[in-house]
Amino acid sequence: MHERPVKRRDHGLLIRRQVALGDPCLADANTSARSADRADLAACYREYVVTSTPPSASKFDRTTADEGPQSPQRRAMLRAAAAGGAGLLAVRTASAQTAASPSGQPATLGRQPSFQPDSDATTADVIVETLLAWDVDHVFGMVGDGINPIIEALRRRQDKIRFIGVRHEEAAAFMASGWAKSTGRLGVCVATTGPGAVHLMNGLYDAHFDGAPVLAITGLTFHDLIGTRFQQSVDTSALMQDVALYNTVVTGPRHALTVTDIACRTALGSRGVAHLTVSKDVQGMHFSEDKASSENHGLRTSTAWSRPTPTPARNELQAAADLINAGNRVAIMAGQGALGATAELEQVASRLNAPVAKALLGRTVLPDDSPFSTGGIGHLGTVPSEETMHRCDTVLIIGTTMPWVDSYPKPGAARGVQLDIKAERIGLRFPVEVGLVGDTKETLRALLPLLRQKDDAFLRDIQGSVVQWNALLDRVAATERTPLRPQSVIRAVSDALAPDAIVCLDCGANTHFSARFLTLRRNQQLVATGMLATMAPGLPFAISAQLANPARQVVAIVGDGGFAMLMAEMSTAVKNGLPVKVVLLRNDMLAEVVFEQKELGNPAYGCELGAIDYAQIATACGAEGLRCTSPAGLKPAIDALLRSPRTALLEIHVDPAEPITMPGHLSV
C-alpha cells in the first residue's frame, strides 16, 4: 500500500516557538514556561533531545518521515515518563498538546497512516499502531486474559504510548473521559471480556452524555465460542449499543486497519464514545492469516483529520442578528460548547452589554470575575443568573442544554437564538426562534459584525445584583464553626488555588458548594460530570488531567461517599508519581440524598456511611494524608496540602447538616 509523506514536526522546537509567541492553544506550555518549572522544562528539552535513541524494531515498516508520536524524542520521553520522570512528562504532554485546541477538539492533524503492516502484524498491533497515528499516547485500563494480545502490543510500544493500569475499570473510563474533557483529545480505555467491559459502562456514559471523545476497546470471547455460554462471554457489542456512536466487532487485522480509524474519527468528529470489541483469538491473528473477502481490494481509510468548524448560512446569521438587535435586555447563557471561544464570547457580550450565565461544564468560558459573568446557573447556580434569565427580553443560548428548564426565561417572556454544533439540540430546553448550527468560535466571529452596540442599563442592573450576591457568599463563607461549614472550606480552597489550577468535581452536596463558592479565574479549568451527574469521577478525572497537564496544579474536590467508591485509585496516582491533590469533604453521610429525601417529606434512610479514616487510606496507598477538623486549622491544612510535592489528600470534617439550597434560598 502506498504511503504519503507527512510533515516532520520537531515537538521541542515547536513548543519553544509557541511558548515564546504566547500561543493561547498552548496553555500548558505557557504555564510551564511561566512557572517555577521553567528551568526544569528547558533542561528537559535538552535532555530528551540528547537522549533520543533510534527506533526499536517494529512489525511496521515506516516508509515516511515520522510524525510526533513516532519521533525518537517522543520515545525517549515516554520511556522516562514510564520510569516516573515527572519533568520529562511535562515535555511530553506539552508536545501532545500541540494537537489540541482549547475548543475541545483537536486541531487539524493532516496526517496519513504512516505504517505498512507486514505479514507478522497482529490485529492488536494494527489497533495500537492506529492509535499512535492518531496521536494517542495514554491508554487507561485493566489487564485480563481477554485482552492479552492488546496489552502485549501496548507493552512493546511503551516508549510511545503509556498504559495506565487502574484498580477498577470504571476509573479507567472516567480517566479517558476526564482526559478528553480536559484536553479535547481522544481518551482511550481498554478492558477485558465480560466483567471488565461491564465495569467501563458508567465512565463511558459520562463521556457520552457530555460529548467527550472516548474510544473503548474491549475483549470478546473466542470467535467460535460466541453464543455458547462460554466463560465471560458478555455480548459487549450489545452492551455498548446505547452508549457508543460507533460500535463494531473487529474480525481481523485487515478489518482493524479501517475500523480503528473510523472509531477514532467518530469519537472526535461526533464528540462521543466509539467502541471496538475483538475476540481474544482474533486479537492475535496475523495479517498473513487474514484472507481478504472478495470485495475488499486493500481498503484503507485515512487518518487525515480536519476539525469540523461549520458556520451557519449568511441569512441565518442575519436572522439571528435581527432578533438580537431588536431586544432591549439581552442575556447570554453559555455552556461547555463555548469553551475555547472566550475571546469571541467576550466580544459579543461587550457589544450587547449582555450578562452571561454559565452552565457548570462551561463555567470557565468567562472568568467568574468578568464584568459580564453572573456565575453559574440552574440548581447549583446564583441569584443574579436567575434574575438575568427571568428579566431579559432576549436570550442567546450558546453551546449548552443546561437541564433545569425553570432557570431559562419563561417561554413567551423572551425571544431566543440558540447556537449549537448539534442540530438536534436547537430548541431542546427553550423554544428559540432562530437556531444557528455551527462551531461556536467561527459562528460568533461571523455574528459579531452584524450586532449593534447596546447600552449597558440591563447589565448595570444585574451587576448590582452580582455585588449583593457576592456579599452574601462572603458572609456565608466567613462563618467559623465546628464542624466546618462546607462553603467556608470551598472558599478557602478557592483562595489558595494556583492561577492555572485544574479543579475536578464529584457529585453530591460537595458539588453544590463547590459550584457556588469556587471563584474560577482566567486560565483555571473545571472538569466535572455534567449530564450523568455520577458519583466517583473526581479522583479519576484528576489523575488523567494531571497526566495531561503535569506542570499544573490539579485538585479534586470530592465527597466521602463518592471518593469511597473508587478510592483505591489513590494508589494509581502514587504509582504514577502524580502530585494530585484531593480535598475530601467528610460528613460520614450521603448528604445530598438526605436533603432530597427530606424534601419529599421522608425520613433519611440508607444515607449513613460507616466512618472511614480517609487520611489513613491515603497514607496506606503511599500518599500523604492530612486532616482538618476546625476553622483555625483550615488555611494551614490547605496550604500544606497544596504545597506537598506528592499525591496528597486532605480530609476535612464538615457539617453534614449544612443544606444544599436553590439559589434563592441561600442564607447566612
Ligand X SMILES: Cc1ncc(C[n+]2csc(CCOP(=O)(O)OP(=O)(O)O)c2C)c(N)n1
Angstrom distance (rounded) from CA 306 to CA 108: 5
Residue 562 engages ligand X in binding (rule: CB under 6 A): yes
Residue in 553, 577, 549 with CA at minimum distance from that of residue 93: 549
User: For residues 137 and 560, which CB has a smaller minimum distance to Mg ion in the complex?
Assistant: 560
* 211, 559, 579, 625: residue in contact with Mg ion (rule CB under 5 A): 559
Integer Cα distance of 181 and 541 in angstroms: 9
- CB 354 to ligand X: min, Å: 33
* Window 1 to 60, contacts with Mg ion (CB under 5 A): none
Per CB under 6 A, the list member of 337, 381, 508, 540 interacting with ligand X is 508
Q: Which is nearer to ligand X, 437 or 535 (CB)?
A: 535
Contact status: 211 vs Mg ion (CB under 5 A): no
- Per CB under 6 A, the list member of 98, 221, 237, 510 interacting with ligand X is 510
State how far the Cα of 147 lies from the Cα of 234, in Å rounded to an integer: 14
Q: Measured between alpha carbons, how far is 218 from 75 in angstroms, rounded to an integer?
A: 26
Which amino acid makes up residue 131? L
The least CB distance from residue 536 to Mg ion, in Å, is: 12
String of contacts with ligand X for each residue 515-554, x by CB under 6 A: ------------------xxx-------------------
Q: Taking the CB of residue 277, how many other CB atoms lie within 10 A of it?
A: 25
Supply the minimum distance, in Å, between the C-beta of residue 147 and ligand X: 25
Among 186, 339, 509, 557, binds ligand X (CB under 6 A): 509
Query: Residue 257 or 564: which CB sits closer to Mg ion?
Result: 564
Q: Is 561 in the site for ligand X (CB under 6 A)?
A: yes
Q: In terms of CB distance, is 492 or 585 closer to ligand X?
A: 585
Instruction: Determine the interface stretch with ligand X among 52-60, 69-77, 222-230, 559-567 (rule: CB under 6 A).
Output: 559-567
User: How far apart are CB 660 and ligand X at their closest, in Å?
Assistant: 8
Distance (Å, rounded) from C-alpha 657 to C-alpha 595?
9
Q: How many other CB atoms sit within 10 Å of the CB of residue 7? A: 9
| d(C-alpha 623, C-alpha 615), whole Å | 9
Given Mg ion, ligand X, none, residue 446, with its beta carbon under 5 to 8 Å by kind, binds: none
d(Cα 493, Cα 583) in Å, to the nearest integer? 8
Does position 538 interact with Mg ion (CB under 5 A)? The reply is no
Listed in sequence order, the residues at least 6 apart from 145 whose beta carbon sits closer than 8 Å to its beta carbon are: 192, 280
Q: Which is nearer to ligand X, 222 or 404 (CB)?
A: 404
Q: Is 562 in the site for Mg ion (CB under 5 A)?
A: no
For residue 615, the minimal CB distance to ligand X (Å) is 16
Task: Report helix, strand or coil for 648.
Answer: strand
Q: Look at residue 286 and give its three-state secondary structure.
A: strand
Instruction: Report, in Å, the least distance between residue 570 CB and ligand X.
Output: 16
Which CB sits closer to ligand X, 133 or 273? 273
Residue 550 touches which member of ligand X, Mg ion, none, C-beta under 5-8 Å by kind: none
**Closest to 651 measured CA to CA, from 578, 586, 598, 554:** 586
* Piece in contact with Mg ion (CB under 5 A), picked from 159-167, 317-325, 365-373, 579-587: 579-587
| Residues in CB range of 42: below 8 A, 6 or more apart | none
Residue 279 touches which of Mg ion, ligand X, none (Cβ within 5-8 Å per kind): none
Instruction: State the minimum distance, in angstroms, from the CB of residue 599 to ligand X.
Output: 13
The one among 327, 550, 559, 625 contacting ligand X by CB under 6 A: 559
- Written as one letter, the residue type at 526 is L
**Which one of 339-347, 448-456, 497-505, 586-594 is the stretch in contact with Mg ion (CB under 5 A)?**
586-594
Residue 93 in grid coordinates: 504532554
The DSSP 8-state label assigned to residue 122 in this structure reads B
Shortest-Cβ-distance residue relative to Mg ion: 559
- Binding mask 567-586 toward ligand X (x if CB under 6 A, else -) reads ------------------x-
Stretch that binds ligand X, among 66-74, 361-369, 396-404, 506-514 (CB under 6 A): 506-514
Q: What three-state secondary structure class fits 661? A: coil
For residue 507, state whether it binds ligand X (rule: CB under 6 A).
Answer: yes
Q: To the nearest 10°, the Cα dihedral for 480, 485, 487, 488?
A: 30
Q: Which residue is nearest to ligand X (CB)?
A: 559
Q: Grid coordinates standing for 562?
A: 463518592
- Euclidean distance between CA atoms 380 and 114, whole angstroms: 48
Among 88, 164, 359, 591, binds ligand X (CB under 6 A): 591
Find, among 277, 281, 275, the residue nearest to 262 by Cα. Answer: 275
Does 587 sit near ligand X (CB under 6 A)?
Answer: yes
Minimum distance between the CB of residue 239 and ligand X, rounded to whole angstroms?
Answer: 18
| Residue 16: burial class (beta carbons within 10 Å; 0-12, 13-18, 19+) | middle
Q: Can you tell me the distance from the alpha carbon of 484 to that of 652, in angstroms, rounded to the nearest whole number?
A: 8
Q: How many residues bind Mg ion (CB under 5 A)?
A: 6
Residue 484 is a binding residue for ligand X (CB under 6 A): no
Interface with ligand X, residue 487, by CB under 6 A:
no
| 3-class DSSP assignment, residue 239 | helix
Residue 104, contacted partner among ligand X, Mg ion, none, CB below 5-8 A by kind: none
Tell me whether residue 68 or residue 562 sits nearer to ligand X (CB atom). 562
Determine, following the binding rule CB under 5 A, whether residue 587 of this chain makes contact with Mg ion.
yes
Percent helix, strand, coil in the chain (nearest 5)?
45, 15, 40
Asked if 180 contacts 230 with a C-beta cutoff of 8 angstroms, the reply is no
C-alpha span between 158 and 334 (Å, rounded): 40
Task: Pick the binder of ligand X from 589, 648, 649, 650 (CB under 6 A).
Answer: 589
Say how far residue 45 (Cα) sits from the centre of its chain.
27
Of the pair 320, 589, the CB lying nearest ligand X is at: 589
Rounded to 5°, angle at Cα 629 from 628 and 633: 60
What grid cell was written down for 336?
Answer: 461547555
644 SS3 class: coil
**Which residue shows C-alpha cell 487474514?**
290
C-beta of 623: minimal distance to ligand X in Å? 19
Listed in sequence order, the residues at least 6 apart from 569 whose beta carbon sits closer than 8 Å to its beta carbon are 166, 167, 168, 171, 539, 540, 543
Question: Which of ligand X, Mg ion, none sits in contact with 99, Cβ below 5 to 8 A by type?
Answer: none
- Cβ proximity to Mg ion, 369 vs 608, nearer residue: 608
The one among 117, 219, 284, 561 contacting Mg ion by CB under 5 A: 561
Q: How far is the CB of 589 from Mg ion (least distance, A)?
A: 5
Residues within window 485-514 making contact with Mg ion, judged by CB under 5 A: none
Q: CA 107, CA 262: separation in Å to the nearest integer?
A: 18
Question: Which range binds ligand X by CB under 6 A, 27-35, 114-122, 247-255, 588-596?
Answer: 588-596
Task: List residues binding ligand X (CB under 6 A).
Answer: 507-510, 533-535, 559-562, 585, 587, 589-593
Task: List residues binding Mg ion (CB under 5 A).
Answer: 559-561, 587, 589, 591
